Amino acid sequence: MNSVVEKLYSAYHQDVFQFLIYMVQNKQQAEDLAQEVYIRVLKSHENFEGKSSEKTWLFSIAKNVAIDHFRRQKNWKNRILDKFDWSRNEVTDDGALPEEIAVANEEIQVLYECLKHCTTDFRMVIIMRYLQELSISETSEVLGWSESKVKTTQHRAIKWLRIEMNQRLPKEERDIEPVRMERS
């Protein structure tokens, strides 16, 4: 049993930890929640039926651990919105010109600022699809949604982000290939 947990840990710990950091925006809390994920894996691995990949199963557990964390807190739906500080991400492209980096940084900051104000469903789909790079199928399994709901939510989230970004970007930077997050 320990070898199974060690295998999952070595293969996916960084992804799980990163997901939890995006969710709670606190390194120590994310470390604690990651431990909780692996405790749950130990307790329930014998019940894993293999209907999904181990990665998807692990992310489902991580999602549930994060939700349980917020439920334990007062006003968890409001707190989840406050836990994201998207302005921390920076664009790093050594080959880009300084002005391109400045425009990209501003676009990313506006994107992350917009995500602070979107619905939890939009945020979860964006994190899983674009930051964690899960497929539609994997995202569907993690969230317990149909694939069509994931696609619809993703489409609506991107549409909402484009509108919000165009309202927040300076006039001269609007409609610059809005939200470069298209995925198959």
Q: Which residues neighbour 32 within 8 Å (Cβ) at sequence distance 6 or greater?
A: none
**For residues 114 and 109, what is the distance between their CA atoms, to the nearest angstrom?**
9
Tell me, what's the pLDDT at 33? 93
Amino acid letter, 59: F
User: What domains does the chain contain, in order, with CATH numbers?
Assistant: 2-80 (1.10.1740.10), 85-173 (1.10.10.10)
**For residues 46 and 170, what is the distance between their CA atoms, to the nearest angstrom?**
54
In the predicted model, what is the mean pLDDT of the chain? 76
Q: Are 5 and 45 in contact (CB under 8 A)?
A: yes
Kindly report the three-state secondary structure assignment for every residue of the chain: CHHHHHHHHHHHHHHHHHHHHHHHCCHHHHHHHHHHHHHHHHHHHHHCCCCCCHHHHHHHHHHHHHHHHHHHCCCHHHHHHHCCCHHHCCCCCCCCCHHHHHHHHHHHHHHHHHHHCCCHHHHHHHHHHHHCCCCHHHHHHHHCCCHHHHHHHHHHHHHHHHHHHHHHCCHHHCCCCCCCCCCC
Tell me, what's the pLDDT at 103? 52
Tell me, what's the pLDDT at 86? 46
Tell me, what's the pLDDT at 76? 42
Model confidence pLDDT, tens digit, residues 44-74: 888 887 788 888 888 889 988 988 887 776 5
**pLDDT per position in the chain (184 positions), as tens?**
567 778 888 999 999 998 888 777 788 988 999 999 999 988 888 888 778 888 888 888 998 898 888 777 655 444 444 555 544 444 444 444 555 555 556 777 777 778 778 887 888 888 888 878 889 998 998 889 999 999 999 999 989 988 888 888 776 555 545 444 555 5
Of all residues in the chain, the percent with pLDDT exceeding 90 is 14
Quote the pTM value. 0.60
Q: Are 33 and 19 in contact (CB under 8 A)?
A: no
Tell me, what's the pLDDT at 178? 47
